Homo-oligomer: A and B are copies of this chain.
Amino acid sequence: MDTFARLESEVRGYCRGWPAVFHTAQGSHVTDENGRRYLDFFAGAGTLNYGHNNPELKRRLMDYLSSDAIVHSLDMYTTAKRDFLDRFNEVVLEPRGLDYKIQFPGPAGNHSVEAALKLARKYTGRESVVSFTNAFHGMTLGALAVTGNSMKRHGAGVPLGHGVAMPYDDYLDGRTPDFLLLDTMLDDSGSGLDKPAAVIVETVQGEGGINVATAEWLRGLADLCRRHEILLIVDDVQMGCGRTGGFFSFEEAGIEPDIVCLSKSLSGYGLPFAITLMRRELDVWEPGEHNGTFRGFNPAFVTAVGALEDYWTGEGMEKQTLAKGEQVERALNEIALAHPGAVDGVRGRGLAWGLVMSDPALAPRVCGEAFSRGLLMETSGPEGEVVKLLPPLTTSETELDRGLEIIAESVEAVRESVTV
C-alpha cells in the first residue's frame, strides 16, 4: 500500500477504514488481492443496488462494447441514448403518471444537483435555496452550499451563499410543529428569509445519518412549496433507484417533485451516470446553457436500460426490498435491545438502515470489528455516530442474515468499553 501513501492525496477517505486492496467483486461480495472475501453492506454508497458485476447487465455491457457501438458522444443523438429515453419513460415515468423531461447534466450526482439548482433559479428568478440540516448534496460549489457538513463546507475556502438550512423532519425531537418556522418565515415579509427559488430535500438522509422523513412530513413539504410557489427538488441520488422500495423514494408519500436528481445506481453497474428530471414546463434551458464532457456515456445508457428491464417492469423488486428491509429492521432492533447502553436506536426505510451508537466513538469501532470479520460498512451522521447499512438490493436473505450476525458480534465486541 506504499503506492497509495506515496502518490495519492491525503484526501482519500474510505480506504483508511478498510486497509485492503480490492481486486474482484461479484454480487454482494468483494475480494481483496490476497483472496480474502468481504460481504458488502456499503454497495458503493448506494451505487450498486443490483450488486457488483451483475451478470445480466454485464452481458449487455460486453455486447455493446464488443460491437464497437459508440461509447462517448456528449449530447449527440445515439441509438443507446434514444433507447434509454424511451425505456425510462415507459418503465418509470408513464406508469407513475410523471410528465418529466430528462436532462443529462454530467456523469455525477452533484452534476444533477448543480443543474437542478441552476434551473430552479433561472425559472423563478430567485437566488436562495432552502436545504435541510444534515443534508448532503455534493462537493461542487453549488451543491456544497446546500450541504450541511461543516468540515466539507469549510473545504470550499469561500463563504457558501444563497442557501439556508431548515430543520429536517424530527430534527428537534418533536418539540416544534413541522414547518412552523419555515412556513411562518415565508408568510412574513419581514422575516429576513429571502423567498427561495426552491427547497432541496432527501427523503432519507444517507450521509446525514439515515434520517428518515415521514410520508406525512414530505407531503407537508410539498404542500408548503405549492402554497408559496417554491420549486421542490428531491435529491434521489442515493435513495432513488429502488433503495427505499419504489423506484423513486418519494412515491410512498404520493408527492410529485418539480425536479428530481438521480445518479448512483441509475446505470446499475457502477458506471458514472446522472440525470435531472424536471416538470415539462420548467424546461426553460437555452441550448448548451449547461453542458459537460461526459453527459453522453453510452455504456451507462445500456446498463441502465438493462436494470430497468430486468428489475422494474413488475412490482417484484419493490416487494422484495421492503421484505428484506423488515428482515434487517428486526435484526437491528434485537441488537439494540441487547445493548441498550451502546445503541441509541435503529432508523431506516427500505434497505437503508442505521444503527445509532450512543457514543460516536463506537460506530467506527463497530465497523472496524465488522471489517475484521469480513463485512464492509461505513459510518454516517454528523459525528459519524451511525453504523450505516446499504446492502445491494439483490443481497440474498441468507447473506443479509450473515451480515446482521456479524454486526451483532461486532457490537458485542466493542461493548465492554461502553460506560452504561
Contacts and interface: CB of A to CB of B under 8 A. Distances in A.
B285 A118 contact: no
Interface string A40-58: 0000110110001100001
Interface string A146-169: 111111111111111111110100
B75 A13 contact: yes
A8 B264 contact: no
20 contacts: A8-B101, A11-B285, A15-B77, A18-B77, A22-B70, A22-B78, A23-B69, A44-B293, A53-B65, A53-B68, A111-B139, A133-B185, A133-B190, A142-B142, A147-B192, A154-B289, A160-B194, A163-B192, A175-B176, A272-B272
Contact of A287 (B16, B85, B269, B278): B16
Interface residues of A, number: 151
Interface string A119-147: 01110000110011111001111110111
Contacts of A189: 149-151, 382-383
A270 B12 CA distance: 24
A128 B62 contact: no
Given A156-B118, A181-B172, A294-B272, A9 B283 contact: yes
A291 interface: yes
Nearest to A75: B12
A210 to B, nearest CB: 13
This chain: copies in complex: 4
B150 A194 contact: yes
A172 B164 contact: no
A323 to B, nearest CB: 26
A121 B117 CA distance: 23
A66 interface: yes
Contacts of A154: 289
A419 to B, nearest CB: 21
A361 interface: no
A69 B23 CA distance: 6
A420 interface: no
Contacts of A188: 133-134, 382
A381 B191 CA distance: 10
Interface stretch (A102-110, A249-257, A314-322, A346-354): A102-110
Contacts of A164: 164
A232 interface: no
A21 B82 contact: yes
A176 B146 CA distance: 25
Contacts of A271: 71-72, 297
A3 interface: yes
A107 B294 contact: yes
Contacts of A148: 190-192
Given A11-B288, A26-B68, 6 more contacts: A3-B82, A10-B287, A11-B290, A106-B110, A133-B188, A133-B192
